[in-house]
Amino acid sequence: MEQATVLDTKVLEVNMGPQHPSTHGVLRVKLKLDGEKVVDADCVIGYLHRGVEKISENRSYINGVPYYDRTDYIAAVSNVYGYLLGVEKMMGIEVPERARHIRIMMTEFNRIASHLLWLATHAIDIGAMTVFLYCFREREEILKLFESLFGARLTTHAFRVAGLWKDLPAGFEQAVRDFINEFPHRVDEYEQLLTNNRIWLARTQGIGVISGEEAINWGLSGPVLRGSGVDYDVRKARPYGGYEEFEFDVPLGENGDTYDRYVIRIEEMRQSCRIIQQVIDGLPDGPVRGKAPRTLKPAVGEYFSTIEGPRGELGYYIVSDGSVQPFRVRIRPPTFISLQALRRLVKGHLMADVIAIIGTLDIVLGEIDR
């Protein structure tokens, strides 16, 4: 700045959080500000650290499952899914076809629910109140479906080894059909409120831009990576659990900004709906639970099971020493890695944009801190 000699500014360190409504959990960001411009940002995390990985080493393979519900509590179904896929692979357990399809359906429902919560909070952070109410209306319907099938709404303990706890309850299929008939119109409603909204555009376009190459180097995954135009979705790259049987598109962005990531998540909800439609139309009959030993004792070995969670690539690196407890369960948390890029994304933006960028990364502190 030319006027620097006249109006000398000093870099100011401002604390955002750990108790701040727009940090979506207990996150503390130490911002270095030059006026309103962010010079640097340092994240302080760990407030929610519960040592899930340590706990898993001291529980049996099955007893560990509920803990993974509680890492990323917004996407509990996906979390359990990723872990069980790994354990089943190590044990050589076959999952019946019906159970596989229901798992995919419920995981996609979870993706929608997670994206709805993201959209609701992201919009309210930026100042759009109505979207919040609309999104929660639809999310409620999904949580009701969860409740009728899993018995819980949030920490669902969705799946069991080799299948499901029980078959779909009466009326479930109809409820699913009702939802997917209605839901695309609801998405249109959100889009009407936001997609061409001038304030929304001004707050999201050109904010937090990251190129595809850089996004790869930062290890980003999920919608954040695809917003930068990198065509990588674990469901397509390394299909798991039967995803190759279903048709869906992977939406890609061009500019890698907050707006593109918004468009992608909106489109992903539509695509999830498409998958659910295919599942429910072709749902095979049969048992929902295969054969599995009561005590899981995988042979000595290791497996890295990755799935496409709502927030990105979710991995479980399971190491067995041949005993009833895992030697190590490492969770590869997608948001831990995308939060790391916050420092890079906020540089040069205004303080108010930090909130939009935290929102667009779609972080869940329970998973970051584990």
Partner 1 sequence: MSDEEKPKRDSEAQKTAGKTDLKEESAVAEEGAEKPPVKAEEGTEKSPVKDKPAPKPKVKKKIPSYEDVDDDPVFQKLNEKVAVSVLSVQNFLDQSICTVSLDGLYELMVDLRDNADLDFNYLVDMTALDYLGDEQRFCLVYQLYSYKLGRLIRIKTRAAEDEVVPSVSSIWKTADWLEREVYDLFGIEFSGHPDLRRILLPDDWHGYPLRKDYDIKLQDQAWISSHLKIRKTPV
Contacts with partner 1, residue ranges (CB under 8 A): 45-46, 49, 51, 53-55, 57-58, 60, 89-92, 165-167, 216-219, 230, 232, 237-238, 287-289, 291-304, 306, 313, 315, 317, 319, 321-325, 327-328, 330, 332, 336-337, 340-341, 344, 369-370
148 vs 325 by CB, closer to partner 1:
325
Closest to partner 1 by CB, 230 vs 273, is: 230
Q: Is 354 helix (H, G, I), strand (E, B) or coil?
A: helix
Tally Cβ neighbours within 10 Å of residue 149: 22
Residue nearer to partner 1 on the CB measure, 92 or 198: 92
Cβ closer to partner 1: 158 or 337? 337
- Shortest distance (Å) from residue 81 CB to partner 1: 18
Least distance in Å: CB of 162 to partner 1? Answer: 8
Nearest distance in Å: CB 229, partner 1 = 12
Question: Residue 301 CB, nearest distance to partner 1 (Å)?
Answer: 5
116 vs 163, which CB is nearer to partner 1?
163
> What SS3 class is residue 309?
strand
Q: Please, what is the minimum distance in Å from the beta carbon of residue 246 to partner 1?
A: 20
Nearer to partner 1, 187 or 222 (CB): 222
Burial zone of 115 (CB within 10 Å; 0-12 exposed, 13-18 middle, 19+ buried): buried
Let me know if 146 is exposed, middle or buried by CB neighbors in 10 A (0-12, 13-18, 19+).
Answer: buried
Is the Cβ of residue 332 or residue 349 nearer to partner 1 in the bound state?
332
Residue 220, C-beta contacts closer than 8 angstroms, at least 6 positions apart: 210, 228, 312, 337, 338, 341
**Bridge partners, 164 (sequence order):** 159
Single-letter residue type at 330: R
Rounded least distance, CB 142 to partner 1, Å: 23
Nearer to partner 1, 4 or 92 (CB): 92
Least distance CB 127 / partner 1 (angstroms): 31
Burial status of residue 282 (CB atoms within 10 A of its CB: 0-12, 13-18, 19 or more): exposed
SS3 19: strand
* Token code pair at residue 5: 């000699």
Give the pairing type, strands 159-160 and 37-44. unpaired
Distance CA 189, CA 181 (A): 14
For the bound state, the minimum distance from the C-beta of residue 153 to partner 1, rounded and expressed in Å, comes to 21
CA dist., res. 330 & res. 183, Å (int): 36
What are the backbone dihedrals phi and psi of residue 66, each rounded to the nearest 5 degrees, phi first? -60, -25
